[in-house]
Amino acid sequence: MSVRLYGYFRSSAAYRVRIALNLKKLPYAQSSVHLTRDGGWQWSEEYRAINPQKRVPALALSTGEILLQSLAIIEYLDEIEPEPPLLPADAIERARVRAVAQIIACDIHPLNNTSALNYLKGPLKHDQAAVDEWYRHWVVQGFDAAEALIHPGPYAFGSHVTVADLCLVPQVFNARRFKVDMGRYPKISAVDAACLKLPAFDKARPENQPDAE
């Protein structure tokens, strides 16, 4: 399978998909969609033809189809390449894993993505300090819940990596960028450390991407 990932090195959503591709050992090319340079390439007509939502990631398949939304892409990859599985076999455990993944991807991330932060700074006229505090507030709200729900062993839900880990690790990276106190989250920090020892996670780190600045 030949695929092309449209992403941005610091995008946590694209980071999730890079980890999944690496875990599945699926080769992929990358095209950088710089979200801030020259006003942001995501707003260009060229990229809108690829992704009408004008966000990253987008995964272009060799057959011509383009898939959007990181969790949908990850579940697609899990279906076409079932090893290693990213969801537990047990239905209750699958629901628990998905809940933590969605706390990150559906609760924290939408409030803190580039579009939301730019709206706070632009039309709403908040200064950078207020925007940073906004970011930290929503990370803390989500991490407080995730810390109570995960069961490290050493990964978020035991001895196998799941989609919860794929969401947690990129969010921890961004939490540190915005100076969230990770000392209050020992379980999340332990999961992050365990995951980053794996080559699939290490290769996906933002600083290891071709468009890293």
Model pTM above 0.85 = yes
Residue 49 has what pLDDT?
Answer: 95
CATH code linked to domain 3-84: 3.40.30.10
Residue 43 has what pLDDT?
Answer: 85
Cα atoms in the 13 Å half-sphere on the side-chain side of 84:
12
Q: What does the alpha-carbon distance between residue 168 and residue 73 come to, in Å, rounded to a whole number?
A: 17
The residues spanned by each domain of the chain are 3-84, 91-200
Residue 51 has what pLDDT?
Answer: 95
For the chain, which residues score pLDDT lower than 70? none
Residue 56 has what pLDDT?
Answer: 96
Q: What does the alpha-carbon distance between residue 187 and residue 199 come to, in Å, rounded to a whole number?
A: 21
- Are the folds of 3-84 and 91-200 the same? no
Q: What CATH architecture does domain 91-200 belong to?
A: Up-down Bundle (1.20)
Selection from 77, 97, 94 nearest residue 19 by Cα: 77
Residue 36 has what pLDDT?
Answer: 82
